[in-house]
Structure 1
Amino acid sequence: MRADMSINPDTPHMNNRYSTMADFVNALPETIYSVAICATSYTDTGGVARVVEQQAIDLSSEGYDVEIHTLTATKDPPDGVTLYEYGRFETTPYKELDKLLVPVTPPGWRSLSRLGDADLVIAHRFPFSVLGYLSSTLYGTTYVFWSHPSQSSDDLFDGVAKIWAKLQHHLETKHLTVGRADYVCAVSEGSRAYIESKTGRDAILVPNSVPESRFESVASREEIEDQYDIDPSDTVVLHVGRITPRKNIHELVASFERVTDCEAGYKLVLVGKENMNEYSATVRDRASDDVILTGFVDDETLAGLYDRSDVYATCSHSEGWGLPLSEANRFGTPIIAYDSIPAADAIEDARLAADGDRREFEAELEAVIKEK
């Protein structure tokens, strides 16, 4: 058991940055054969779930015995990876009591017992931060907390939801189960600086990546245009992400409408699940017929949309990383975003506007689509 190591604020025997998940795990001084990667949900629509999937693929291909532990799952794990699902919970802020109580429930105890059999536990978010810490304390497993947040999101909610958002943010930044992890990792420079400011200890940067296997099949241009009624001559602006206030979709729609002035020949395609009915209705009310909401799409269709689109644009102000930008870049799609998004800084040719400067964002968008 490494109790002393758990409270050591520094890890001088490790580098402060690794290019891939496998590079990080390979560099650990502990002997690692089995890895448990933990997150609250493993679904097709969750950003953290995408990261978990990528990490599982990366480590499994390196020969590690990999498990995914989650509270709820709606898709199969990668080949050769075992999935443990511990029970359903609601993702709306008003129904998160189940998640809060997980560490003191039978499903939580079963999870802790299984985590004790792993050599390495990687916890994405609460409550697995608590279970990861307990597995390290009780069983001597190596515990890594993987930090995603860049700021609190409580300003997006009111009432009970606001209280829950504040509590969750505390549990994922300042709580002892984060500060006493064997290692703290972050997906971007911004996230690393933020978690370091909260924990008072060094963090290791491991950027997200897009596995080659994910987009092996790409829907053709003709299939995409036929499915979404896009003319071959249309200039297509793409955004990928859930239709939520956090993604600032309404601002993107408004900017698109202003820049194109409702002229023919332009389409804004919004790819993402609509799980906030009131906000979705607001977006739809503001959108013209040139705005297409696709809902969730499979990877083959998503790849086709990246490939067909002329520009990828996002008005989101806050992302732990911003994985769709990395995916769009893989297809050579020009990118426009605010400079607060970590993934945008990692893309050499991305066109960035100062965070929150809508005029600059719209100028960049207009310049790109007029070129097309």
Structure 2
Amino acid sequence: MNDNYPSIVDFVESLSADINSIAICGASYTDIGGVARVIEQQAIALSEHGFDVEIDTLDGNKEPPDGVTLYKIGRFETTPYKEIDKIISTVTPSGVNFISRMDNIDLVIAHRFPFSILSYLASRVQGTTYVFWSHPSQSSDDLFDGAARIWAKIQHHLETGHFTVRDADYICAVSEESKSYIDSKTDRDAIYVPNTIPESRFPEVASQATIQDRYDIEPTDTVILHVGRITPRKRIDKLIESFKKIKNDSVDYKLVLVGKDTMDEYADTVREKASEDVILTGFVEDEILAGFYHISDVYATCSLSEGWGLPLSEANRFGTTIVAYDSIPAVRSIENAVLATDGDQADFEAKLEDAIRQHLNQA
């Protein structure tokens, strides 16, 4: 078997001609979160290639793609109770039923805990082929304190070095960084399968007029876009600082932050730093998101660590100029990305300013 494939379809088709039914599993299938979007895009790609696909999750408020069935087996939707769901899922009736249903599934793809454990059990009880799909390139426990930090460490182990990951039939990783990291944790040689954007993604795009009217953006404004949850890992506060320096006294610059608040204290910090030219949209539907990608002059991110960086791939689909640190895996698949030295904010600001200037000169 190869150690890398260009897409999930190529990977699955390499396994066996007998695979027809596939369950793609993740703890959450909601309108926020990068893993949920990866699951959605995998489901679209596999379904469009004729596979019978279902999505299994604990918590899901997002509509599944056409032709894909969604199963929700969790009990709670809010923190900290949904964390309890993860712990008890293997002994609940719905968890046991999941394992039983896998008897009719040829391939189960698990994104993170607790489906790593549930899928491992299904592989042992039902003989279902089990693939663990690895995202992280590092632990996220540094974002938390107290009990939350301890739980983050435990969960990270369950998604990296635990035997239910190590003993998967196959381990796949979304980036070379994630592959190296999971290799070191499992002593396995993971398979590199980058995230890809199906052609059918964003079937509808909001018009420029719709975006401008709804968010008070003038046709002559220079729009800098960022997409992602408002969390410390995304370093939104640093992006706002850089935007203010680049904007200087210009009155026609807008920084648009598309993403939901998930950490109240950090969101308050972001809002305190934001000027009236910083637009926080919260969650937006796909049609509006596509509209933002379409009208934006530059896509920018100050994040230093991503499993992949899916919004960069999406922005690239719309031909949007991208400015990011060179540590983000997604930029390796984007020919025209403008890269700043990892962590060098002055270099980032210089690259962002130059990208804006070049875009305006070409307009």
Q: TM-score under structure 1 normalisation?
A: 0.94
Query: Does residue 204 in structure 1 map to residue 204 in structure 2?
Result: no
Q: Which of residues 252, 255, 261 is equivalent to 1:268?
A: 255
The answer for the alignment partner of 1:178 in structure 2 is 165
The answer for the alignment partner of 1:365 in structure 2 is 352
The one-letter code matched in structure 2 to 1:125 is: R
Question: Paired residues, what number?
Answer: 359
Residue by residue, what CA displacement relative to the aligned partner does 1:1-45 show, whole Å, maximum 9, x if unpaired? xxxxxxxxxxxxx11111111111110037211111100011111
Query: Does residue 189 in structure 1 map to residue 173 in structure 2?
Result: no
Residue by residue, what CA displacement relative to the aligned partner does 1:266-287 show, whole Å, maximum 9, x if unpaired? 0000000112222111101101
Residue by residue, what CA displacement relative to the aligned partner does 1:299-345 show, whole Å, maximum 9, x if unpaired? 11111100100000001111110000000000000001111110012
Q: Which of residues 289, 293, 305 is equivalent to 2:292?
A: 305
**Structure 1 stretches lacking a partner, 5+ long:** 1-13
State the distance in 2 between where 1:346 and 1:79 align.
28
Give the CA deviation at 1:359. Answer: 0.8
Would the aligned equivalents of 1:214 and 1:299 in 2 still touch at CA under 8 Å? no
Correspondence 1:11-160 to 2 at 5 A = 14-29=1-16, 31-90=18-77, 92=79, 96-160=83-147
Would the aligned equivalents of 1:249 and 1:283 in 2 still touch at CA under 8 Å? yes
The one-letter code matched in structure 2 to 1:340 is: S
The one-letter code matched in structure 2 to 1:175 is: H
State the distance in 1 between where 2:249 and 2:145 align.
35
The answer for the alignment partner of 1:255 in structure 2 is 242
Would the aligned equivalents of 2:99 and 2:126 in 1 still touch at CA under 8 Å? no
Q: TM-score under structure 2 normalisation?
A: 0.96
The answer for the alignment partner of 2:335 in structure 1 is 348
Classify the secondary structure of the residue corresponding to 2:157: helix
State the distance in 2 between where 1:335 and 1:125 align.
29
Query: Does residue 222 in structure 1 map to residue 191 in structure 2?
Result: no
Q: Which of residues 217, 225, 228 is equivalent to 1:238?
A: 225
Would the aligned equivalents of 1:89 and 1:99 in 2 still touch at CA under 8 Å? no
Classify the secondary structure of the residue corresponding to 2:74: coil
Percent identical pairs in the alignment equals 67
The answer for the alignment partner of 1:291 in structure 2 is 278
State the distance in 2 between where 1:186 and 1:224 align.
36
Give the CA deviation at 1:247. Answer: 0.9
Would the aligned equivalents of 2:230 and 2:236 in 1 still touch at CA under 8 Å? yes
State the distance in 2 between where 1:91 and 1:240 align.
23
Query: Which segments of structure 1 move beyond 4 Å, counting only runs of 4 or more?
Result: none
Residue by residue, what CA displacement relative to the aligned partner does 1:228-286 show, whole Å, maximum 9, x if unpaired? 11111111000000111111111111111111124211000000011222211110110
Would the aligned equivalents of 2:324 and 2:339 in 1 still touch at CA under 8 Å? yes
